[in-house]
Amino acid sequence: MKPQDRYLPPEVCREVGSVLECIGDKWTILVMRTLDGGSLRFSELRRSISGVSQKMLTATLRALERDGFVTRTVTPTVPARVDYTMTDLGREVMVPINALATWALRNQHRVSAARRSYDAKSARGK
């Protein structure tokens, strides 16, 4: 097998990439895991995820809505009420995401050990 034969077809790269890109950003996973427990209002989400700015929470939710992972329901009371809910698609993608999260949790000590070792080595090498 020549190295060139390991090319991933461009369309594969792009599709996988586009999914990983959206779950890879700073807040998406947090929002999805929070919403996976049940519907929440905007303000509840914001309180549940410490550190997120209004702007980023809005942007994250818009992206999730566009990708079909969550639905946005507006109740036109005054003041307005907006609820966010996971879709079936969203709940499905949580399965492999949670698997990855579980791996990360179980193996975090191995990764951080590798990092410490690497950092110590490069500090000595300097």
Partner DNA sequence: CTGCATCCCAATCGATACTG
Partner DNA sequence: CAGTATCGATTGGGATGCAG
Should residue 120 be labelled a site residue for a second copy when binding is judged by CB under 8 A? no
Contact footprint for DNA (CB under 7 A):
25-26, 41-43, 46, 51-56, 58-59, 61-62, 72, 74, 79-82
Q: Per-residue contact track with a second copy, 9 to 28, x per CB under 8 A?
A: -x-xx-xxxxxxx-xxxx--
Cα angle: 98, vertex 102, 104; to 5 degrees: 115
CB of 25 to a second copy, least distance (A): 7
- What Cα–Cα distance (Å) separates residue 75 from each residue in 16, 27, 33, 36? 35, 25, 24, 21
User: 120-125, long-range: CB within 8 Å, 24+ apart, which pairs?
Assistant: none
Q: Per-residue contact track with a second copy, 33 to 72, x per CB under 8 A?
A: xx--xx-x---xx-xx-x--------------xxxx----
Round to whole Å and give the CA distance between 22 and 88: 17
| For a second copy, the closer CB: 12 or 75 | 12
